[in-house]
Chains A and B, each alone.
Chain A
Amino acid sequence: MAASAYASPIEKGWYYLHRLICGAVLLFLITPILVVIPLSFNSVPFFTFPMPGLSLRWYEEIFMTERWQGGLRNSLFVGLSVTLLATVLGTLAALGLSRPNFPWRTAVMSVLISPIIVPIVITAVGTYFFYADIGLLNTYTGLILAHTTLATPVVVITVTATLAGYDHSLTRAAASLGASPITAFFKVTLPLILPGMISGSLFAFLTSFDEVVVALFLAGPEQTTLPKVMFSGIREQISPSITAAATVLILFAVTVLTTAELLRRRSERLRGIR
């Protein structure tokens, strides 16, 4: 849509100014993230362009040194456990919430979503006091449970959105043809909501994989995660290995986003929306 031919000079001027502003805002949004990526391949430990040479030494550092490696291992382990727990709990809840006439739907939904609204420090501090009482501080179990709490809203939101377009007469049709509720779920409902479930679980993984505040409070040296290593690195002396770790996290985010988008399209196609 270009400026129309009959527009006055002021309108044209405004039109181009508006486009310019939008270009600037988009640059503001994306550049900081894109700047980090090339810097992680810098051969010298400075944050300047042009870079004197390319090197993989910072990646070597994060994949070879014990501190980073341990962080990555913990992040993956905690993230996968969280994904499993959050997906099961979140999908079950979303299935219940999407049934017609669910009682107190808004209230229940508000409670289930609240972990992403309540300031993260409050969640972390409250859990820290609570875990201190029951002895879950500095344990994998504690960290996994806390991250699962933060990740379930994401699954609930994603799967509920998928179920919004779900035609309940399909389940009834299966039942009328003699399928038990369990069979009907696995043969009819599950294949249709699977794309939503997978994107939900990917977002759940990302939530845990990126999370730093709860990890700072609840994780001991044993459970140090990748973001926690990054955080202390930024606090002390920021080195390019942090930009390498950041690039890894960006890569994860982009992968998750792309997969979720592809799944969404597939699910729309399956349900015949497009």
Chain B
Amino acid sequence: MATTAVQIPGSSDGVPLRIKLQRVERRRKLRAFALVLPLLLFVFITFVMPIGRMMFDAIHDDTLLVLMPRTTVALSVWDGKDLPDERVYAALAGDLKQAWAQKTAGKIGERMNYELAGTASQVKSSARNASTLSAGPYKAAMIEISPIWGQHEVWSLLKRGRSSYTAFYLLRSVDFQYGSDSQIVASPPENAIFRDIFLRTLGISIGVTAATLLLGFPLAYVLAILPPRTSNLLMMGILMSFFTSVLVRTTAWVVLLQDHGVINETLMTLHILSQPAELIFNRFGTVLAMTHIQLPFTLLPIYSVMKSISPNHVRAARSLGAGPFYAFWKVYFPQTLPGIAAGCLLTFILCLGYYITPALVGGPGDMMVSNFVATYTNEQLNWGMASALGAILLTATLLLYFVFNKLVGVDRIKMG
């Protein structure tokens, strides 16, 4: 042992101690990082990349560029004023012939239909008819086949297809779209549904957050001041609710609230109601079930902050002459604010992304952004819209997550 004590300051190989220490430190950091690396890579591949791809899909769409190569190239010299000239129509006929042969006309029609309703069937029939055209002039022939080829907005749309990037889906998600000259205009009322959906999601989330705070705060307070034996028992109940899956808790509410559910049947047996009250498939049911599910998320951070507040503070205030409510409001309440911020922010972030509960206990008017993302993915197969709505929702969530990290710290997220 004595020899090593001598060797360190001596550093026989001529490397200064400071450098050696730095090297050791760096090696330690690398070793710590190597332990995290597998999970980091895993999360990157199975989580960050898929979500990044989805975000990319919100602005990337090369359907027209790939499936109508001649037309999009020919359109690059079109000035966008009158209808394009014969050369472009010839290219169009060529592309449609090819699309008919390769059975891609449906895809083109679908893509164009997103922006101009009613064009899908026209494109399909045009492709079928164009395949019989043998020689020009094509302009008159194409307009004869379908009047859409004489419409200015259709050509504007095709010209926008020259780029494999489009802002269409994002614009549509905030109720804007391209006009007949590719200018940005507000969507017509029948398409302008998305601002409502975002506002509704926001409204439901604020409502649920407020409700969980109103219900959670008094309960957290009682739990914090009760003797440990009692409060631990009550805490087990809260944790049981916390760890029961969202699906099970939503199921429970369906069983309770439906027309022939527990609440309605009981009230009717007691002759309080003559016919079932509408408790489910409306806003009331959605907010009630979501509040029930989110309550522990708001309550637990408030509780853990309250546990750390010394009861002496309020006692001191009381002994100095403050009334009970004044002491609570001026001394106790301000100290619980970090817990309130953590709990409410977490609940609000999680509420924004709700899917299961609105889908099972909400009516058509209670569907939140997530439900539309799912519908566009599974039923309408419009992945561009799904990605754009998802990208907006994700951005909002990540911004709030960033605020949460700054305000509360990611280390504060605990299990139970």
Q: Do A and B bind each other?
A: yes
Residues of A within 8 A of B (CB): 1, 11, 14, 18-19, 21-22, 25-26, 28-30, 32-33, 35-36, 39, 46-49, 89-90, 92-93, 95-97, 99, 101-103, 106, 108-131, 133, 145-146, 148-149, 152, 154, 156-158, 160-161, 199, 203, 206, 210-213, 217, 227, 230-231, 234-235, 238, 242-243, 246, 249-250, 253-254, 256-257, 260-261
User: A110 and B410: CB pair below 8 A?
Assistant: yes
Contacts A102-B32, A238-B255; A249 near B377 (Cβ below 8 A): no
For A20, give the chain B residue with the smallest CB separation. Answer: B218
Give B17-32 interface residues, CB cut-off 8 Å to A: 25, 28-29, 31-32
Give B211-261 interface residues, CB cut-off 8 Å to A: 215-216, 218-219, 221-222, 225-227, 234, 236-241, 243-256, 258, 260-261
User: B237 and A26: CB pair below 8 A?
Assistant: yes
Known: A123-B51, A212-B246, A260-B415. 4 other contacts (CB 8 A): A32-B256, A101-B28, A109-B410, A161-B414
Alpha-carbon gap, A161 to B410, bound state (A): 12
Instruction: Name the prevailing secondary structure of the B interface residues.
Output: helix
Q: List 17 A-B contacts (CB under 8 A).
A: A25-B215, A26-B237, A109-B410, A118-B47, A118-B51, A119-B394, A123-B50, A125-B373, A126-B54, A130-B50, A131-B50, A227-B245, A234-B254, A235-B360, A246-B251, A253-B244, A257-B239
User: B234 contacts which chain A residues (CB < 8 A)?
Assistant: 26
For B353, give the chain A residue with the smallest CB separation. Answer: A119
Alpha-carbon gap, A14 to B265, bound state (A): 34
User: Is the CB of B101 closer than 8 A to any CB of chain A?
Assistant: no
Alpha-carbon gap, A80 to B383, bound state (A): 33
User: Is the CB of B40 closer than 8 A to any CB of chain A?
Assistant: yes
Alpha-carbon gap, A173 to B39, bound state (A): 29
For A226, give the chain B residue with the smallest CB separation. Answer: B247
Alpha-carbon gap, A125 to B52, bound state (A): 11
Give the total of B residues in contact with A, Cβ under 8 Å: 97
How many A-B pairs with Cβ below 8 Å?
287
Which residue of B29, B35, B50, B244 is within 8 Å of A127 (Cβ)? B50
Alpha-carbon gap, A89 to B409, bound state (A): 23
Shortest A10–chain B CB gap in Å is 9
User: B35 and A25: CB pair below 8 A?
Assistant: no
Alpha-carbon gap, A20 to B26, bound state (A): 59
Alpha-carbon gap, A33 to B246, bound state (A): 11
User: A96 and B43: CB pair below 8 A?
Assistant: no
Among A95, A102, A131, max chain B CB count under 10 A is at A102
Contacts A1-B227, A101-B28, A108-B36; A126 near B50 (Cβ below 8 A): yes
Shortest B374–chain A CB gap in Å is 6
Alpha-carbon gap, A102 to B32, bound state (A): 6
Alpha-carbon gap, A30 to B353, bound state (A): 24
Alpha-carbon gap, A123 to B50, bound state (A): 8
User: B252 and A35: CB pair below 8 A?
Assistant: yes
Residues of B within 8 A of A (CB): 25, 28-29, 31-40, 42-43, 46-54, 57, 215-216, 218-219, 221-222, 225-227, 234, 236-241, 243-256, 258, 260-262, 265-266, 269, 292, 295-296, 324, 349-350, 352-356, 360, 370-371, 373-374, 377-378, 383, 386-387, 390, 393-394, 397-398, 401, 405, 409-411, 413-416
Among A120, A121, A246, max chain B CB count under 10 A is at A121
User: A117 and B227: CB pair below 8 A?
Assistant: no
Contacts A30-B240, A33-B241, A161-B414; A121 near B390 (Cβ below 8 A): yes
| Closest 3 A/B residue pairs (Cβ) | A119-B353, A96-B35, A210-B245
Alpha-carbon gap, A127 to B413, bound state (A): 25
Alpha-carbon gap, A157 to B412, bound state (A): 9
User: A108 contacts which chain B residues (CB < 8 A)?
Assistant: 36, 40
Which residue of B43, B49, B238 is within 8 Å of A111 (Cβ)? B43
Alpha-carbon gap, A163 to B43, bound state (A): 22
For A212, give the chain B residue with the smallest CB separation. Answer: B247
Which residue of B25, B216, B225, B245 is within 8 Å of A101 (Cβ)? B25
User: A203 and B415: CB pair below 8 A?
Assistant: yes
User: B39 and A99: CB pair below 8 A?
Assistant: no
Contacts A29-B237, A36-B252; A89 near B355 (Cβ below 8 A): no
Alpha-carbon gap, A129 to B394, bound state (A): 16
Among A19, A116, A149, A203, max chain B CB count under 10 A is at A149
Alpha-carbon gap, A68 to B265, bound state (A): 29
User: B350 contacts which chain A residues (CB < 8 A)?
Assistant: 117
Shortest A165–chain B CB gap in Å is 14
Contacts A117-B397, A119-B370, A126-B390; A48 near B353 (Cβ below 8 A): no
User: B397 contacts which chain A residues (CB < 8 A)?
Assistant: 117-119, 122
For B324, give the chain A residue with the smallest CB separation. Answer: A11
User: A120 and B43: CB pair below 8 A?
Assistant: no
User: B33 and A33: CB pair below 8 A?
Assistant: no
Among B47, B324, B413, max chain A CB count under 10 A is at B47
Alpha-carbon gap, A227 to B251, bound state (A): 11
User: B38 and A231: CB pair below 8 A?
Assistant: no
User: A29 and B244: CB pair below 8 A?
Assistant: no
